[in-house]
């Protein structure tokens, strides 16, 4: 099963981001991808944290959700819809990752559990001001066109720093973990690849990490480096910066080989 991670440099304008996402999904589908993942905040990187409140949709209904559903159906692919703001209250939203099946139906959703906070004296972020944290880990089964089932675990950006989430997703083991992200340039340069490779190695699964990657209209710079990693921790493909995509093939034999030669998942004691 061929998978793709899309890299974007999203703007404060939803129509512009929508067109970029559509263009990239179509490009991935034309290249044979059966599962396509968008980055965190693919629909909006606003000038202020509160901008996402104005774009927030009700659960199960809204232009962004309708767009993702139609895009999945048009291209006959599974779409991991990065994240979009789903209304929790007048003051807060969920940062929700929605998955749509090739027929356009909603297959699963995951609300980001861990909310990013960072202050190095120059850069300051506090997602808790506008986001409501999710409450549970989420995984689902997708099926390739050839009939091969794959168990896919969902996570978002800052979740990457909390290995206990991924352990929870490994009961039963996932074959693929998706990590839509908008890592800052500062934290991404220091930790992005090493954390993603660690999650792949310790959980012996593929990792697909679509990211925001570049200088945004709001002045923020995101790290990019969207990539695909195999169950041994090998980076299969990476895109450093700018709009584009990376692709790789999920190989059930490779997955089985890694887990057989080093059965670490069976050796867990806690």
Clarify whether 157 is annotated catalytic.
yes
DSSP string, 36-58: EEPPTTTT---SSTTHHHHH-BB
- Cα separations (Å) of 43 from 20, 232, 235? 10, 33, 27
Contacts of 269 (CB under 8 A, 6+ apart): none
DSSP class of residue 32? T
Q: Which residues have a Cβ under 8 Å from the Cβ of 248 and sit 6 or more positions away? A: 2, 3, 206, 228, 230, 236, 237
Residue 269 is classified by DSSP as: -
Could you say which of 52, 57, 112, 241 is catalytic?
112
Query: Would you say 212 and 8 are in contact if contact means Cβ atoms under 8 Å apart?
Result: yes
Strands of the sheet with 138-143, listed across from one edge: 138-143, 149-154, 176-178, 206-209, 226-229, 235-239
User: Which residue of the set 157, 174, 178, 205 is catalytic?
Assistant: 157
Catalytic hit among 34, 40, 57, 127: 40
Whether residue 112 lies in the annotated active site:
yes
Are 1 and 150 a contacting pair, CB within 8 Å?
Answer: yes
Q: Is 40 a catalytic residue?
A: yes
Query: Which residues are marked as active site?
Result: 40, 112, 157
């Amino acid at each position: 099963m061929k998978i793709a991670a899309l890299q974007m440099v999203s703007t404060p304008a939803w129509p512009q981001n929508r067109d970029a996402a559509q263009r990239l999904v179509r490009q991935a589908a034309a290249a044979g991808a059966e599962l396509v993942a968008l980055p965190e905040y693919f629909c909006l990187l606003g000038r202020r944290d509160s901008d996402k409140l104005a774009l927030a949709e009700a659960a199960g209904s809204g232009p962004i959700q309708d767009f993702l559903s139609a895009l999945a159906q048009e291209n006959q692919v599974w779409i991991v819809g990065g994240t979009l703001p789903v209304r929790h209250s007048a003051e807060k939203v969920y940062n929700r990752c929605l998955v749509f099946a090739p027929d356009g139906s909603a297959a699963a959703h995951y609300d980001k559990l861990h909310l990013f906070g960072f202050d190095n004296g120059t850069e300051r972020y506090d997602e808790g001001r506008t986001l409501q944290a999710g409450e549970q880990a989420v995984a689902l089964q997708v099926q390739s066109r050839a009939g091969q089932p794959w168990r896919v675990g969902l996570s978002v950006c800052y979740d990457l720093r909390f290995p206990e989430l991924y352990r929870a997703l490994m009961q039963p083991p996932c074959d693929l973990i998706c990590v839509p992200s908008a890592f800052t340039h500062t934290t991404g340069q220091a930790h992005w690849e090493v954390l993603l490779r660690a999650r792949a190695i310790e959980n012996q699964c593929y990792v697909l990490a679509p990211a925001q990657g570049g200088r945004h209209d709001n002045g923020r710079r995101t790290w990019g480096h969207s990539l695909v990693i195999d169950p041994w921790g090998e980076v299969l493909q990476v895109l450093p910066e700018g709009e584009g995509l990376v692709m790789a093939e999920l190989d059930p034999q490779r997955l089985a080989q890694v887990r057989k030669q080093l059965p670490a998942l069976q050796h867990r004691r806690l």
